[in-house]
Every structure is written in C-alpha cells, then in structure tokens.
Structure 1
Amino acid sequence: MSAVGMFVELVDRSVQRIAEIVADGRRFDRREVARLADVWDNNTSHFFGVLGIRNRWLRERAARAGLRWMGEFHREWMVEVCGEPMRRLLPVPAEPLYYRDSAGRLRASVLPVAVGGLDGDYDLARATARVVRIERSGDGFCGLMVVRAPRLFTDGVGEFHLEMPVSRAVFDSADVDGLQLGGEQVRIGRSGLLAGGAVTVGIDDWEWHLSRAARAVQDRVPPWRERSRRRPPVRRATGAASAAAWAFRESMVQIRRVRFCGHVGRVALESLVVPLAGAGTRAGEAARLRGAERDRVFQSMADSWGAVADHRPDASRMPDMACLTLVECADGVSVNFAEPVDGRWPVRAARLERPGGVFVSCRDDVLTIGDRAVAGGRAASES
C-alpha cells in the first residue's frame, strides 16, 4: 500500500468508526470518538495538501513525512488500521516509565499501580476520590478516579489518577474517603469496589520527585535532554481543496467536543459524521481531476461538511427507558445515556440534581444509578 493510500485509509476508517459508534448510542464510546476526531485537528490540512501534489514521487514523500509525524502520537491506532506497511514505516517509540523535566526533577509516565508505590508515599486511608467515573469503553466499561491524598514523604496533599477496565463496580458517591489498592481492583470508602482489570496510575504531583518511589529509581534515569521532535509537515491545500480541508477539520473539531461528557448531548454527532462518509477516498478522487471540475467537486464537499447547529442544552433528568453509558460523580452527578427515539438510540447528557448523592452499580454489562436512600443499603452485599 502506498503512503498516500494509507493516508486515505486512515481518514476513511476514522469516519467509519465514529459513525459505527454513533449509530447505536447504547454502545457509545465517548473516549474513542474524541480520540479519533482529535487525530484530524493537526493533520487534515497536510492530507489535503499532499493530494494536490502532481508529481507522484513528491506526493509519496510528503505523505510519508506526514504519517511519520502522526505516528509520534497515534502509532498504535495507525498500525491497527493499515497493518504491516504502516508498521514498517513507523519505528517503535521508546516509552520510558520515568523521565526528567527541564528542571531536572524526576517524573513518572503512566505506571502499573503495582510499581507506583502509592501505599508507601501517600496516606491512602485518608485519601478522597474527588472524581469517580465509569463509562462505556469498547465492549465493556472503564473506570477513572481522581484521588487526593496526604503525602507521607513531605507536607501537603498530592493528586493521582487511577484508570482500569471495569467488569464490576459499586460505590456510593457520598462515601469516597479511604482507598485500598489490589492487583485488579480498587476499594473505595466503606463498601465501594471497582474491579475488572489491571490498574494504572498517573501521578499529578509536583512534589513526587521527593517520594520514596522516585528516590528508588532516580539513579537509573538520565539527565533531562531537550527532545528534537520532528517538525510537523507544512504542506497546505489551496483553492477549493483548502475549503474542503477546513470544513472536514471543523466537523472533527465539533465532534471532538464529546471529550467533555457534558457536551455529549449537545453535539449533533450524526449530522456531522454522516456527510463525511468516504471523505478520504472522495478527496483522493477529486484531486485527480483538473481545472474547474476539480474545484467544483471539492467545493461540493466543503458545502456539505462543517458547522452544524447544536442540539438542545443538557437535560436535568433521564427518561425511564434510558440506557446509561457514563456516570461521573464529582461536584455533582453527570450522566450520558442513550434514549429511544423513533427506533434509534441517540446519545444525550444530563446533570442530575441529587444533593444527597447517588448509588452507582456496574454489573452484567449494565450501568445503573439510584438514590442513596433507596439503594445505598445494597452496597455491602454487592461488593
């Protein structure tokens, strides 16, 4: 497969996959939609610019340069889409667990919780989960906790993020003080539990370099050295192709807003993604045309893509038939859900007014919430 062909395939598969996820809101994977849309924030203009290069050799060289730059951020997905040709093009990046910042302080990348040293560096018994989120991820669910805990290695409080696959979960949003970590589970509060897979930790603590875990590995981590990251390609489309590139990027930027769970109900996902079907292939075919016909086809694409008005604002309740895809307990309770409308299941968002908190359960591939006064007593038995 040529480099240009792989570029086209990446565009087409991005759109196709987003459309598949959007088609049935009951399986809505918010993070995958946001990740796929984010690819095209900085790469759309170069893609359309590459298509406009008439010389085949120069076009391939420009496409390879663009793919290599993309590969620094999205290699795993690119290889998954294009297979062995992409694997040969993109070197395997070094991903150290630890590194130093420009001030020479030791930092950690995302770590397996078993090597994160949290129990020796933080008072987990007095930790508080500031955010607990469970949401649809692929064929299952995943969990995120943003935790603040008193440091044991110096004064003050540090923050870290725990992430994991979730097959079973139960917790009370008003009972999130105290943490116990296991190999593939996290216990929270008196009776809360998230279980289902390997737990990873991202440490967001500027004093972490003083911790016991940091001191244990500091001699193995080389000094900071400024990285010479490959400069992004600057090939840009012109004329009507530029208008099509802008409209495609604008569509993806709007779709990407679902990275904020409260925007899931506002973004008109289907109206944005359906017109983009086959966008890469169509752009490649248009680029082979000449003169006015080429401009006409690109302008037609530009006219059918781009800005779409938002849906109604977030709701304050869920309908009875809703299928939950996300629950986030932070300063309040936010949910994403699919709602049956004329035989379809579009996704929506709501900010629930539950001053006393909620009881959350994930079991048998079903995510549910209930009022604490009604459901809170079930926590101990289900955990």
Structure 2
Amino acid sequence: MRRMRHTPGVISPLETFAGLLDRSVAEVAELAADARNFDPVRVGRIADIWDNNIFPLVSAASAVRPLRSGRARAGLLWMADLGAARRQLLIDLDPALAGFLPAARPEPSARRDYRGELRPGSFPLTAEVVRGLSVDYDLAAAAVRSMTVSATATGLRMHLTLAAPRRFQPSTGRVAVDGSRKPWPPAPLMFTFDGVTEFGFDAEDRVGVAVTCTDTGLAVALGREGHLRADEGTVWPDDPQWHESAAARAADPGTPHDRPQRREPVRAAILSAQQKAAARALHTLMLQVRLVGYYPHLAAAVPLNEICRIAAVAGSAILTASAHRGPARDKAFAALEEQWRHVPPKLPAAPIGSGPIMLRFVSYTEPHDDYDVARPSSAVVVAAVPGEDPAGPWHRAVKEITQPSRLRIAGGAFAGEQRVRRDADVLSIDDTFAVHPHG
C-alpha cells in the first residue's frame, strides 16, 4: 500500500478532520460570546460545513487503522470541493490546510443543467460584465427586491437582489399553478458587495440601478439618491430564462455538454447503533446553529453559547471514543450521544429598546409575487445590546417587522456603538437608520 504524504503543518488527515470540527465550534462560540462581534452569516457558513460531514468523520475515525488516513483525506477533499469560498473557509479555520488542499477548481461562467440548457455562474463585477448585463437587462428600470447588510470581521458586506426587466423576449411563457401560460416576471439579479465603505438605501427609492467600475472599486447608484461604494462585487443572474440571453448565446459554443462531477464521497464504515446515534445528535446540534445563517430573525433565540459548550472539542471526543474497541467503544459513543442529544431550549427574545446598540445585520424585502405566491414585505434587525452589567458581554437582540411602512439606512448606522431610539415600534438612529412598523 502506498504511504500517504503528509504536508508540513498538517498533523495527519484524521486529526486535521477532527480538528476542523473543534475549530468550527470554537469559532462559533467566540462569535457568540459577545454580540458586538456576532456575524450570523459566518456562523451559518461554518455550521453548514457539518451538514453532511459529521458522519464521514465518524466513519473515518472508526475505520480500521490502515484505512483511516485515506478516508479522512477523502473527507477533507470532499469538504473543500464546493468551490473557492468553501475552500477558503476551511483554510480560515485551519491555515495549515493551504498547503494540503488542491487549488480550487475554476468556477465556470456557465454550466448546463440536466436538459442541456445553460445556467449562469457568479460573475465578478467588471466593466465588461456590467456592459453585458445591461445588454440583457434594463438596470435603469430594475427595482431592489431585497437588501441585506451585515457586519463582518473584515468590514461590511451587502447583498442586493434586483427585479430586472429583460431586454430579450422569452420564447415561451411560464406555466402558472393553474396550468395557464403567463408572462415571466422580472429576472432576479443577485449582487454581492464586499468591502463596502459607504452606502445609503431607502426602501421608498429603490427603482433604477447603475453600476460603475472605477480604479478604486465599485460605485453603485440606487434609485434617485441611494448609493454604495465597495472594493469588489459579484453578480449571479438567477434567471430561469437566462439560456435565451445574449450572454448565454455567446457562452454556448464554449460550454461543454458534459456536466462536471464532484469528487467521490467518503466511503462509509459500518457504524454501530451507538455511533450513529451520537453522530445524529451532534448533527442536530449543528443544524440548530445553522438556522442562524438561514433565518437571522432567530439569531437571539438559538442558544448558541450553550450549544457550543455542549459540543466543545467534539472532534477530539470522536477520536477518543473511536480509539476504544468492542463494547468499550460503544459505551464511549453512548456517553457522547447522551451529552449531545439534549438540545437546549430557545432563549427568550431580547428586546431592542432605547439605549446603546451595535447593528450587526439588517435586511429588507419588498412585497412581491413569487410564482403566484404573494410575499409580504419584511425587515429584520440583528443587534448587540448591553446586559445588566455594562462591563459584561453584550447580548444578541432581534427585531422582526412584517410589512414595514418605511426603512432607510446609511453606512453610519454600522459605525461602532450607536444610540437607538425606540418610539412606539419605530426604531431610529439619528439620521442614519429608521424602520417603521406596518402603518
């Protein structure tokens, strides 16, 4: 059997695999310890790693000794095979993986679905991409359908989804729920901006978008007075009819018909009932953590601190339990299942009242029809507020408003500690932020 090479800095594939789980839980615990550092998007991305990788870790740790390293290595490669962003997240958690993982596969600008029709990838925002986008979509008539801005360790990140009229005519209408043919609604264009240095957004002024690429980054005009500046950005045209666009026609000749295949998943070892139960219990805990990323309005309710206490050094615990043999191994995993299966109850809602505050996440969605389903407008505010001890850690607090009558926000609202005013259900921070309830 060929001996596997070990990259300097990586202890072993199995210990690295387990260490990633330990580091994941530790970073979530650090982000949750004081809400002034809280980043719900990153918490969700970290937890998402373990949606389908806990069982492979237990399988690799429980395999016979000659197979452990190979299966752990396969697990790491499978884990990193979801694109450059996932690979970079793993390296953020364990820098030693930079020399261990292969380079990320180039992400194609287009791919084919099971019918052979072209689907777009995510495009970096360059002058050429913006020009091409303007050929297929009327950005001047596009409306902001949703907006999120979140505070990260490296600055502000902003997501905008535009509902943009097409400049090309789809060859067929869409099939409605009643079976009739109807015109396609405007196409969703999903923009992501990193390194946002300034912005201003008013939900009442959301029609018309212009993107300009400059030597120093990106400048975006939103409506009549809205704006943002960012270091870089991407756009994903989430348009089911994109295959009929000019961009798709240009990409068609060079796009292979063979669909790229992912790496083979980790071969699973035969697990005992106790091993499966422990893995399921830990998986359930990580799913609770992941809720924060998908549903930020739950950020204050999910007991992240307690979950991280329960799941601390879970990877190391899996290795320790797997080192036993026979009944002793089953007993060790049964003890882990007993520790991990108790999901803590949800936390009571922490109110956002008048006083000190640090915004961590704000989102807005306009009312719209989503394929014959009416979606009301909504706004979510995730913030850090001080507890009873002013010198102690701040707590996560959330305000969710269905059908807000007004929302406006500027970058200054995220500039460190602010003072929020609550008048009835209206939240405001000087002239940089205001959200009004349904009127």
Q: Does TM-score exceed 0.5, indicating one fold?
A: yes
Matching residue of 2:371: none
Matching residue of 1:349: 398
**Offset of 1:378 from its aligned partner?**
10
Equivalent in 109, 134, 146 of residue 97 of structure 1: 109
How many residue pairs match? The answer is 376
Aligned ranges 1:255-274 → 2 under 5 Å: 255-258=289-292, 259-274=294-309
Change (3 A) 1:175 1:4: same
* Residue identity in the other structure for 2:66: W
Give yes or no for the alignment of 1:201 onto 2:235: yes
Equivalent in 180, 192, 198 of residue 210 of structure 2: 180
Matching residue of 1:50: 60
Identity %, equivalent residues: 30
Matching residue of 2:318: 283
Task: Give the 3-state SS of the residue equivalent to 1:175 in structure 2.
Answer: coil
Aligned ranges 1:76-155 → 2 under 5 Å: 76-83=88-95, 87-90=99-102, 92-114=104-126, 115-116=129-130, 117-154=132-169
Q: Quick check: 1:265–1:347 contact (8 Å CA) kept in 2?
A: yes
Matching residue of 1:229: 262
Matching residue of 1:3: 13
**Offset of 1:92 from its aligned partner?**
3.5
Change (3 A) 1:92 1:142: closer
* Residue identity in the other structure for 2:77: R
Matching residue of 2:383: 337
Q: Quick check: 1:172–1:360 contact (8 Å CA) kept in 2?
A: yes
**Offset of 1:293 from its aligned partner?**
4.5
In 2, Cα distance between the equivalents of 1:134 and 1:275?
A: 31
Task: Give the 3-state SS of the residue equivalent to 1:198 in structure 2.
Answer: strand
**Offset of 1:176 from its aligned partner?**
0.7
Q: Quick check: 1:126–1:149 contact (8 Å CA) kept in 2?
A: yes
Matching residue of 1:160: 189
CA RMSD of aligned residues (A): 2.8
**Offset of 1:335 from its aligned partner?**
0.7
Task: Give the 3-state SS of the residue equivalent to 1:94 in structure 2.
Answer: coil
In 2, Cα distance between the equivalents of 1:212 and 1:28?
A: 42
In 1, Cα distance between the equivalents of 2:334 and 2:432?
A: 61
Matching residue of 2:368: none
More strand by share: 2
In 2, Cα distance between the equivalents of 1:296 and 1:136?
A: 44
Matching residue of 2:174: none
**Offset of 1:57 from its aligned partner?**
1.3
Q: Quick check: 1:28–1:325 contact (8 Å CA) kept in 2?
A: yes
* Residue identity in the other structure for 1:229: R
Q: Quick check: 1:48–1:236 contact (8 Å CA) kept in 2?
A: no
In 1, Cα distance between the equivalents of 2:350 and 2:163?
A: 29
**Offset of 1:147 from its aligned partner?**
0.5
Matching residue of 1:361: 410
User: Which structure is richer in relative contact order (CA contacts within 8 A, separation 6 or more)?
Assistant: 1
Task: Give the 3-state SS of the residue equivalent to 1:301 in structure 2.
Answer: helix
- 1:112-160 C-alpha deviation (Å, 9 max, x unpaired): 1221522222111211001011111223110011100111122652111
Task: Give the 3-state SS of the residue equivalent to 2:411 in structure 1.
Answer: strand
Q: Quick check: 1:160–1:204 contact (8 Å CA) kept in 2?
A: yes
Task: Give the 3-state SS of the residue equivalent to 1:199 in structure 2.
Answer: strand
Change (3 A) 1:119 1:226: closer
**Structure 2 length normalisation: TM-score?**
0.78
Q: Quick check: 2:307–2:344 contact (8 Å CA) kept in 1?
A: yes
Matching residue of 1:34: 44
Equivalent in 31, 42, 57 of residue 21 of structure 1: 31
